[in-house]
Structure 1
Amino acid sequence: MPQTTPLSRRRKAAIVVRFLLSQGHKLPLGGLPQDLQIALTHELAGMRAIDRATLDAVIAEFVDEVDHLGLAFPSGIDHALDILDGSISEAAAARVRHEAGLDTRRDPWERITDLDPAALLPVLDSESVEVAAVVLSKLKVSKAAELLGMLPGERARRITYAVSRTGAVGPATVRRIGEALLAQLDAERASAFAEGPVDRVGAILNFAPATTREEVLSGLDETDGVFAEKVRRAIFTFANIPARIDARDVPRILRDIDQTALARAIAASVEADSATAEFLLGHMSQRMADALREAAAETPPMTPAEADAAKVEVVRVIRALEAAGEVFLLAEDG
């Protein structure tokens, strides 16, 4: 029997949903507000049958409305954040979630486990071994193994052992740890400085006179030995060249260094840093090495400041090539 009573929009919606489901379509109805999902369920339960003409009319009206729809916007803050993921900063997104009371709905580990190992390394390096063990336990095995390989051996062993004691840690504690770490990581990414304090201090000391550098590092040893050790690892000076430059890159580096400046650096290394001078001389042509040795021998005596400046010029060229991606510094053992 043809439908004679006008249909409400809610009943039309129920007809469209029933039709699409009967055609095998999966509808994301879980994204609707809960009261609408309940109302739709009751509407479907209260219907029996409609004729073909009514069905065709409802579907035609639905298709016409869809055709006139220009753009649909998300319903709710959480859906809006999903759309904007990657387009706004994590710090801004975290603040929106907090203000909207969404923090408790999201698992912080979803974001933490997606981070690159380099971003997680400071956490494993600075937090307690118990916290580091929880982080390691939440990661994929391949990423956890990569992170362990980036840590000093003793630290890696202590964290690995602590993993054996994580079985007693409850879900609520794991979640609180994740929330605290995520807040810390978001704050670090929102820093006004592009580099961390270790890299900034290391970069400054790279070009400081050797005496100044040693005085600063000695002072750091007294106030914060852990920070001092990290800075030492970040520093790259003339003396580090043999350990951190691939011998195959020496010819490329020498092309960008003024020969007079290089001769002065070699002359400045007769006593201190002689290993670096021999490393450079040993990986160039014999003719060029002989010429540099002769030029170095003829270089007038230099003051300590002039000797430092000559070595710093070589370091400056290497750093510029590294920034351009033309040479890569090797990781120093220990």
Structure 2
Amino acid sequence: MPRSRKAAMVVQLLLSDGGDLPLSQLPEAAQARLTRELGGLNIIDRETLKNVAIEFAAELSDVALTAPGSVEAALKSLDGRISAATVARLREEAAAQNGSDPWTIVLELSADEMVPITTAESPEVSAILLSKLPTSKAATLLGLVPGETARRIAFSMSKTSHIRADAIARIGTGLAQQYCGAALPAFSETAESRIGAILNSSPAATREQVLEGLLSEDPSFGASVRKAIFTFADIPARLAVPDVPKILRDIDSGDLVRALASAAGTGGPLAVAANHLLDNMSTRMADNLREEMGESGKIKLSDAEAAQNAVVTAIRAAADAGTIALIVEGDDD
């Protein structure tokens, strides 16, 4: 039984006993995988649940210490124990390392390019901008603005002592968007990746219809979306042979049988994908699956697509977790 399925059993057991689990603290990929595993659970016999619970308790007893796990969590645990200035600096460093600090974009402007900010924004905002600049550059900027404006900005420096770090970050975002021509991304993934992920889980007819429309409206965008789509038929080109056994343990056996049987019966690229999986697993497992495929009978189209999507979802989850690395089109390997 895969560890993810055991984890889902433990979570379901704790939830049924009224436990309040902070699952939102898990990475999004882990939350999605756990939800899919919970959705796949059915009736669990007493002995199986007992064995899983004993194994979980044994592993839990070996844990000697847990750590915050992130800079933000560490800052919360140290609240009141380190200075506010240190907290602000660490938050800015973490944001810069994640590539999300808007001030890095603003501070790349030349002093001449910053003059419009001092004339259009409030003296307090300009004072914050000056405070973020190296001393020499701040002096250059102050010398470029009219004397009265410079005086108001200098006076406003006294009002910036107690501004919260998150407010400074929001001001940086606004300045970057307004004066740097930089629309800071609201999503961590590209539009092509996001629509591709949605279409991955859509029925084949819907996927092809939407893709055809995208290619017609915007060939370049449509082609990028097509590359981002990963369907069952794409498995031979995207899933490396050594990675096949790694993803099989995380797929429900019923879904796997239905996916392979329906794909083999359809022929074409789907059958090639099914053979790619069967040919690269253990001989014993492949023989057992082929026997079950022969006994599966006629599979409804909706059930076939759902099963094939379950296989693809498991592969993507393994890639998100770093267990495998999907082959990217154009790679030399």
Q: TM-score range by the shorter chain?
A: 0.3 to 0.5
Q: Give the TM-score taking structure 2 as reference length.
A: 0.48
Larger Rg belongs to:
1
The alignment's TM-score, normalised by the length of structure 1, stands at 0.47
- Higher relative contact order by CA 8 Å / sep ≥ 6: 1 or 2? 2
